[in-house]
Structure 1
């Protein structure tokens, strides 16, 4: 007899919702993985069975994102936060500069870390407008001699997202895509390096994916500790030391799930449909709900808004919690409300929340 499972409306910003079918499969395989008599968490990372899991995850990533053979796919640890340091350690050259586009808290943190290793500056910033927008591509000011140009593709705290990316020419373009990777088709060829923590769209926390162009690898600084060199992972298929095996297994299953849904075109349409439900409730509310991001910069992943008064906002959040909506408090640094509608959040959850918003407005106007 199958047990009844209670599932909440999970809008957590990360770790975030995982596809229910993936969780069910992981549960079924947890004790005895593929007839080994062991959990995938117990397998040696040098075993043939785990190697198949590992390589399948890499191949799935290549297929879904149409990644050419000129790139390496690496599985690291330390989250995007470690990448903030690894990138300048590996690529910020002595006597050269790197440029950063400032669109929120995570780009600020990346910039602060890079300053420890060399000369960096702002290619653009929307901080004066409280990060309500993404800069226009023609507003970016960087130099052809820069060692790289860095941006954050989606801003979880402020709810903004790039809709297009610059063609940076000979300047390597590096992107933190932690919160919107795999949410829509992108042209990987525009980027020299993409990095992403897994815990939003790719799987559970503990895995960091890096997609890096091979020619950039060849340009890396050599006086970097072994475990902080990208080349260490590239030369060893990310198996130089013990990787987060269970997280990589789950990542591979999430990628299978996306493929079964129809790939990135299908997932993008689904994400647009989900976001539309929430944004329509905001836009039709006559400023009962006040969106944070400018409309042309709105994120499909993190939908941010406030209510007219703090008292009303508090009541809204309390009532939403009672109704089973989890994770909709805005980030502690700015407050307000935030609906994180990552890939695995069902359409039904966004529909239910939209209906709750409309009902709450009716009862409190």
Structure 2
């Protein structure tokens, strides 16, 4: 079996040991005579997997006891609406920090639900090349919450500091960089993330929310959209994405085995340093638009001297077993996604190819 070097932006690669475990257990899960896919979400076999997944997530992220961990469906895009449905009262407004396409979509959904304002934007000609500075944030001290997107997959920027919001709850979409390193969960009132970058397969959404925030959330919305509903039922109010939760359990268990998020961060920083060093060594050929202090360790974007050359770059890389390098359809160029499952060896292979490609021109 020859596995490719997978730089897809999401759904992204998963650690091979987590997939191999699923392969071993797929037909007969722990001697039960059926696959985990076939087990009832109310049964003992799945309940053990479900509980282990939540426990591992709490342990790896060091989630405080006064936070709920919810396993939901609908992706981060559903949370764009569910967050304001729960947290935005009719007489309040929410602040949104605009740093890319996904934060724009979250802002647009919030405005459909209630009142929301752009408290910062780093867009220039519809492109984002940096993260705003604290002095550029126009925050409302009476806002219901401040919303940020911690990593921007389309434009290759990432927050390396957290905005000071005073007593206003900070809400974060961490879909593309959750678990890339240890983090202080207590700095956030609510975190949500699609699982398909660093945690597991698509179809699963993680929500980590302060219990008092959930308790005080709006109750005049449909029951299925209330965080309190899912918190009260341990994320089993309705049938959850059982196989996605099972695979997440495998990924989290593997992450713990290799040294936890401290080791994950070490690898991720090494990958980013290798790739950015290659870009910086060839600045006239690899055109990197993002300001250095805002560079993402998860999604690295750059352009080549021509679109024709970019197409050739992607095609030749694919022949060498490196896939998922084309930029987003709305931005073009090259995008290298360096999520947790991408190995240092894969990045070394890619950077060697890049140096050779630049020499050939």
- TM norm structure 2: 0.98
Residue number in structure 2 paired with 1:37: 33
The CA deviation at 1:136 is 1.1
Q: Does 1:46 align with 2:50?
A: no
Which sections of structure 2, spanning at least 5 residues, go unmatched? none
The CA deviation at 1:276 is 1.3
Residue number in structure 2 paired with 1:233: 230
The superposition leaves residues 242-294 of structure 1 with CA deviations (integer Å, 9 ceiling, x where unpaired) of 10011001111111111111111110010011111111111001320011211
| SS at 1:183 equivalent | coil
Of 208, 211, 214, the residue aligned with 2:211 is 214
* 1:181-330 alignment runs, 5 A limit: 181-330=178-327
Q: Following the alignment from structure 1 to structure 2, what is the Cα–Cα distance between the partners of residues 315 and 238? A: 46
| SS at 1:205 equivalent | coil
Q: Following the alignment from structure 1 to structure 2, what is the Cα–Cα distance between the partners of residues 300 and 286? A: 19
Residue number in structure 1 paired with 2:14: 18
Asked whether the 8 Å contact 2:139–2:165 carries over to 1, the reply is no
| SS at 1:339 equivalent | strand
The superposition leaves residues 213-252 of structure 1 with CA deviations (integer Å, 9 ceiling, x where unpaired) of 0010112111111111111100000001110011001111
- TM norm structure 1: 0.97
Asked whether the 8 Å contact 1:73–1:212 carries over to 2, the reply is yes
Q: Following the alignment from structure 1 to structure 2, what is the Cα–Cα distance between the partners of residues 135 and 252? A: 35
Residue number in structure 2 paired with 1:159: 156
Of 73, 85, 91, the residue aligned with 1:89 is 85
The superposition leaves residues 104-136 of structure 1 with CA deviations (integer Å, 9 ceiling, x where unpaired) of 000000000000111111111001262100011
Of 59, 70, 74, the residue aligned with 1:74 is 70
The superposition leaves residues 38-67 of structure 1 with CA deviations (integer Å, 9 ceiling, x where unpaired) of 100011111111111001111111111111
Q: Following the alignment from structure 1 to structure 2, what is the Cα–Cα distance between the partners of residues 105 and 159? A: 11
Residue number in structure 1 paired with 2:102: 106
Q: Following the alignment from structure 1 to structure 2, what is the Cα–Cα distance between the partners of residues 361 and 178? A: 33
The CA deviation at 1:9 is 0.9
Q: Does 1:131 align with 2:128?
A: yes
| SS at 2:14 equivalent | coil
The CA deviation at 1:203 is 0.3
Which range moved further: 79-88 or 167-176?
A: 167-176
Asked whether the 8 Å contact 1:300–1:341 carries over to 2, the reply is yes
Q: Following the alignment from structure 1 to structure 2, what is the Cα–Cα distance between the partners of residues 144 and 54? A: 39
| SS at 1:290 equivalent | coil
Which sections of structure 1, spanning at least 5 residues, go unmatched? none
Which range moved further: 330-339 or 308-317?
A: 308-317
Root mean square deviation of aligned Cα: 0.9
Q: Following the alignment from structure 1 to structure 2, what is the Cα–Cα distance between the partners of residues 94 and 76? A: 25
Q: Following the alignment from structure 1 to structure 2, what is the Cα–Cα distance between the partners of residues 315 and 211? A: 42
Which range moved further: 285-294 or 297-306?
A: 285-294
Residue number in structure 2 paired with 1:361: 358
Q: Following the alignment from structure 2 to structure 1, what is the Cα–Cα distance between the partners of residues 285 and 57? A: 42
Asked whether the 8 Å contact 2:131–2:294 carries over to 1, the reply is yes
Residue number in structure 2 paired with 1:117: 113
| SS at 2:167 equivalent | coil
The CA deviation at 1:137 is 2.3
Residue number in structure 2 paired with 1:173: 170
The CA deviation at 1:312 is 1.9
Q: Following the alignment from structure 2 to structure 1, what is the Cα–Cα distance between the partners of residues 2 and 313? A: 23
Asked whether the 8 Å contact 1:167–1:190 carries over to 2, the reply is no
The CA deviation at 1:314 is 2.1
